[in-house]
Each structure stands twice: as C-alpha cells, then as structure tokens.
Amino acid sequence: MAIADVVPPDAEIADRLLAHLRTSHAAPALAYAEPPSRLTGGFETSIFRFRLDDPPAALAGPLIVRILRPYRDPIQIRFEAALQNVLVALDYAAPRALLVGGDPSILGGAFMVMQRVEGRPLAQGMDGLVSGAGVGRIVRLVVDVPRTVERMARTWAEAQARLHALPAEPVLRALREAGLSSDAFTYEGRLASIGRAVDELRLAGLKPAVAWLQANRPSAAAAASVCHGDLHPLNILAVDGKVTGVLDWGNTLIGDAALDVGSTIAGIATTPIDVPRALRPMVRGLLRYALWRYRRAYSRMRPVDPAAVRYYQVFRCLSHLVGALRSAGQGAPAGAHHLPGGRLLLIARIRKLSGVAVAVQS
C-alpha cells in the first residue's frame, strides 16, 4: 500500500488529534483556539502548529504536533521525546515533549505534541540558494550572504559547542529508562545497524564503505558528547541572535564531538543545488565559505581532530545513502539526498575522503 493511501488528509488529522487530546486529558469540551496548520520541512514527518482554547495546564501555549511517516518505526518518537526532555532539564534549548502517541492508527504515524518554540531559523531565506529560487532572488541572496554568514556561523557553532559540553551520562540514563536499546543512540550501534541494512537490502556496492569505517575508527579516545547529527542553520531558531530552540533530534547519537562536526559538514557539502547551472559554482562557493566560517568558529571553542572529522563525514554520507535506498523501497517521498543526483554527491564525497569506490543502483 502506498503511503498516500494511509496518510489522512490534514482536516482529518486535525479532527483525530483533537479527539485524542480530549480523551487523553479527560477534557471533552477541549477545542482549538488556532486549528492545526501545516509547516514546511521534514521529509520523514508531517508538522503542524496549533493552539488550544482554555486547555489544561499541560497543554497551554503554542504547540506543535510532529507526525512520523507511516514507514518510520514508532520508537523514533519515544527516542526524540525522551531526548528533548532531558535536554530541557539540562537547560539546553530544545522543545519540551508534552505527549507521545505511539499508535500509528491515531494520526497515520507515531506522533509527539511538543511546545512551539518562538524564533526564526538562522538561515531563513537562504534555503533559496539550493531549492530552485528564481535567478533574481538568488542574485540578491548571493549579495547578502557574505554580510550575514559570519554572525550566523558564530551562533551556529555556539549552539553546537554548548550541546557538546553537556554531560552525556544523564542523557544516556534517560534514554535507557525510556526502554531504548543502545543501538538507537550510540555510534557503535548505528554503524552496526547500517552494516545489517546493507546486507538485508543486498547493497553489495556499499560494503567497501562499511568495511572502511570498521577498519579506520579514530584511535584517540574522545569524551562522549551529545551529537545532534543534523545541526544546520535551518534547525536552529533564534530571536535577535539568541538561540531559542534547536529542532529535529531524530539523528542524535552519543559519541565523539567530531561525529557531529563531520555530519554537519557532510550534510551541507552534499546538498543538491537546484539552481540554474551557471549559478551553481557561485552557490557552491558560498556554501563552502559558510562551512569554513562555521568550522573556524567551532574550533575556537572546542578543538576537534581533523582526521576524525573526515572519518565521520564518510559515515554520514553512507548513512544517508542507506537511508535513502531503504526509504525508496518503502515508497517514501524523495528528500534532498534521495534522488539520483543527491546519491552521486554522496558517493563522490565518500570516494574523495576515504579512497573507497562505492556504487548503488539508480
């Protein structure tokens, strides 16, 4: 059955959500003050903003409901909710999870209701550089970007360095108490999971990369850090330069801080650019400049081993490839790295950084 056949329309999601909230909070008269409206972003989730009229204290204020696609394991929502709440307890700017729904039949996928964080993405508007904006808008962005990148990169790096400075043990404890296996949140577990997926999906062309990662683990033992896994400026909200919220915690791992830095670099460096061909070199140059500014700002706060950063870039690229191929087999919508052009960028970066040639069927 295709995903489109099982995902309810938005109006039905709104009705089902309200019915569930009335039941779960014994509030039969509960109503919307602001009905759910869909937000952009998220290839693996549907995201709606809403507000309740005269709600119980636990559901007061502006809210978000984040609904996984039907093909996603419901355990991801338990993971994100437990993680976000322990980060809030550690005084980190993550949205507090208020309600977890593990039954996909309620809204078409497992879901989480959480606080809506105020603020604007650090890179709001700059996504037009890679997402098919008109030539005129791209030129204006190109002119404006150098004046804003330094400030953005500093805030971006500060948010990541502060995350890496948090104690890892309370986070590990909270995830274990939520009944989650270490495979879900450690690098060793995730690498083993990727290896199993390569075997299960019969992706023989990716086995050399798995072997390279297994054979070339960084030798220096690094202190465990909380690694977001996808910390780019569109996942960081701010007001007047102050971070108000960090979003999208589904890729978080506990491991070397270099894992997070490498993941950030690889994710941006391999983002497909959907702009006129003549402008692509300029846009790529601006992305490299933004990454250089970010890397420089982060290194001044928390030095990391450059060799480890390169290693974890390979891991991130392989993880993207396996995830894209698995999702394609489940009828998932195409994300930035799911299309053939995106896969080629990932393959090229793996080869550049590791010397290993990999291949996938297009």
pLDDT one-digit tens code per residue, 206-262: 999 999 999 999 976 778 999 999 999 999 999 988 999 999 999 999 999 999 999
Quote the pLDDT of residue 65.
98
Distance, CA of 304 to CA of 316 (rounded, Å): 17
Q: Is 261 helix (H, G, I), strand (E, B) or coil?
A: helix
Where do the CATH 3.30.200.20 domains begin and end in the chain?
3-115
**Mind listing the pLDDT tens digit for each residue in 44-53?**
789 999 999 9
Q: Which residue intervals of the chain are DSSP H helices? A: 10-24, 75-89, 104-107, 135-164, 168-177, 187-200, 207-215, 257-269, 280-301, 306-329, 340-354
- Burial of 4 (C-beta count, 10 Å sphere; 0-12/13-18/19+): exposed
> What pLDDT, on the 0 to 100 scale, is given for residue 200?
95
pTM for the whole thing?
A: 0.90
Whether CATH 3.40.50.2300 fits 3-115: no
Q: Residue 241 has what pLDDT?
A: 85
Write down the pLDDT at residue 362: 55
Token pair in block for residue 23: 């039941």
pLDDT lower than 50: segments of the chain: 1-5, 128, 334
Non-local (6+) Cβ contacts of 126 within 8 A are: 141, 145, 233
For the domain made up of 120-354, the CATH class stated in words is alpha beta
What integer pLDDT is reported at residue 212 of this predicted model?
98
Measured distance CA(276)–CA(62) in Å, rounded: 39
In the chain, where does the domain assigned CATH 3.90.1200.10 lie?
Answer: 120-354
